[in-house]
């Protein structure tokens, strides 16, 4: 298991002043990804950071390994260190990790978060659609991942960063991650020849293909190399719908 590395904080670095980025990415145009949420939580008395994304006015999706106590969410943010007028900080009413989430293999690494009150949708805060049957992913497809996570120098970013990634063949992740990679619940993405990847702190953010949420940043090799593994949202559509329906207010 030492080669698996959940994309959230384990080793706490002293936070640097310099802006960081997703590996090989660029700063996103402010509020161009209005579904993105910044998430922090506490686990074993340490602060951890993740991404999440809005799928209903009162529900976000993230990774189950972003579960902890005092989960807090900021919607409508670009620079999370600035008091931007667009930001909405709403308390989390309930966190619902997938009941079959396995914290050893990272299978079923998906979690729903219900907000205490509905987010106000506007130019800076909006929903990201879930995949439909016809949106089936194929290797070679270009997708975007965004987050406030680590760059190559292992520093967090204050501003939202984004990078384009290509979906890879399942076999590439089977070769790299062996039995941990599950074809039915996971997506393999990121060209091994390119130094472009999601990294620590990007967990829980969406892999967006044609403006649809297809994956959730889950795990990868500790050194930041590709390909990396994303939870396949398509496999969890009925769980997502059923769970959100059970918690209407
Ligand atoms: C999350 O960040 C906020 C500042 O944005 C801070 O006040 C809060 O204590 C942090 N939560 C945890 C669990 O570390
Ligand atoms: C994984 O889950 C088990 C059972 O819920 C728990 O005892 C254990 O501490 C967890 N391990 C990690 C690394 O979170
Ligand atoms: C893949 O995940 C599914 C859903 O959790 C599970 O039923 C199946 O046994 C897993 N397959 C392998 C090979 O672990």
Domain annotation covers residue 202: yes
Quick check: is 68 in a domain? Answer: yes
- Reported as a single tens digit per residue, the pLDDT across 83-113 is 999 999 999 999 999 999 999 899 999 999 9
Q: Whose CA is nearest to atom 2 of ligand 1?
A: 40
Residue 25 lies in a domain: no
70 lines ligand 1 (CB under 6 A): yes
Residues 154 and 223 in one domain: yes
| Percent of the chain residues topping a pLDDT of 90 | 74
Whether 165 maps to a domain, the answer reads yes
Ligand 1 atom closest to Cα of 70?
A: 13
Return phi, psi of residue 234, to 5°: -50, -40
From the CB of 42, is ligand 3 less than 6 Å away?
A: no
Q: Are residues 219 and 205 in the same domain?
A: yes
Answer yes or no: is 40 within a domain: yes
Same domain, 116 and 177: no
Q: pTM (2 decimals)?
A: 0.90
CATH number at residue 205: 2.40.10.10
Residue with the smallest CA separation from ligand 3 atom 11 is 182
Q: Are residues 242 and 178 in the same domain?
A: no
- Six-digit token pair at 11? 């080793």
The residue segments making up the domain with residue 205 are 142-234
Q: For residues 121 and 190, state if they share a domain.
A: no
**CB 47 less than 6 A from any atom of ligand 1:** yes
Answer yes or no: is the C-beta of 13 below 6 A from any ligand 1 atom.
Answer: no
pLDDT in tens, the chain (249 residues): 344 555 543 322 222 222 224 677 789 999 999 999 999 999 999 999 999 999 999 999 999 999 999 999 999 999 999 999 999 999 999 999 999 999 989 999 999 999 999 999 999 999 999 999 777 799 999 999 999 987 666 778 899 999 999 999 999 999 999 999 999 999 999 999 887 777 777 899 999 999 999 999 999 887 788 999 999 999 999 999 999 999 998
Active-site residue set: 65, 109, 203
218 and 240 belong to one structural domain: no
Asked if 39 and 110 sit in the same domain, the reply is yes
Q: Say yes or no: 56 and 107 in one domain.
A: yes
Q: Is 108 in the pocket of ligand 3 (CB under 6 A)?
A: yes
> pLDDT per residue over 101-144, tens digit each?
999 899 999 999 999 999 999 999 999 999 997 777 999 999 99
Ligand 3 centroid distance, CA of 70 (Å): 31
Cβ atoms 64, 109 nearer than 8 A: yes
Ligand at minimal distance from the CA of 102 is 2
**In the chain, how many domains are there?**
2
Cβ neighbours for 200, distance < 8 A, ≥ 6 positions apart: 5, 7, 8, 9, 10, 149, 150, 154
Q: How far is CA 151 from the centre of its chain?
A: 15
Q: What is the DSSP string of the chain?
A: -TTEEESS-SSPPPPPSS---SBT-EEPPTTSSTTEEEEEEEETTEEEEEEEEEEETTEEEE-GGG--EEEEEEES-SBTTS--TT-EEEEEEEEEE-TT--TTT-TT--EEEEESSPPPPSSSS---PPP-GGG---TT-EEEEEES---TTS---SB-EEEEEEB--HHHHHHHHGGG--TTTEEEE--TTS--B--TT-TT-EEEETTEEEEEEEEEETT-PSPEEEEEGGGGHHHHHHHHHHT--
């Amino acid at each position: 298991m030492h080669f698996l590395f959940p994309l959230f904080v384990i080793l706490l670095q002293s936070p640097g002043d310099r802006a960081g980025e997703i590996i090989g990415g660029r700063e996103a145009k402010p509020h161009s990804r209005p579904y993105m949420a910044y998430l922090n939580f506490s686990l074993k008395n340490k602060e951890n950071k993740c991404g999440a994304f809005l799928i209903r006015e009162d529900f976000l999706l993230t990774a189950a390994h972003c579960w902890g106590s005092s989960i807090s969410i900021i919607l409508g943010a670009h620079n999370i260190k600035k008091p931007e007028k667009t930001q909405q900080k709403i308390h989390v009413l309930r966190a619902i990790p997938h009941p079959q989430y396995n914290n050893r293999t990272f299978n079923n690494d998906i979690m729903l978060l219900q907000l205490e009150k509905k987010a106000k949708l506007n130019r800076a805060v909006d929903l990201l659609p879930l995949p439909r049957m016809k949106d089936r992913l194929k290797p070679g497809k270009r997708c975007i991942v965004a987050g406030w996570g680590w760059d190559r120098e292992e520093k967090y970013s204050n501003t939202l960063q984004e990078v384009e990634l290509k979906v890879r063949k399942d076999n590439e992740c089977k070769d790299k991650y062996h039995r941990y990679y599950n074809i039915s619940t996971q997506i393999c993405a990121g060209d091994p020849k390119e130094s472009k990847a999601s990294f620590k702190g990007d967990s829980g953010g969406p892999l967006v293909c044609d403006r649809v949420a297809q994956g959730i940043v889950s795990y990868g090799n500790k050194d930041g190399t590709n390909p990396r593994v994303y939870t396949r949202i398509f496999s969890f559509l009925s769980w997502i719908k059923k769970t959100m329906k059970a918690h209407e207010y």
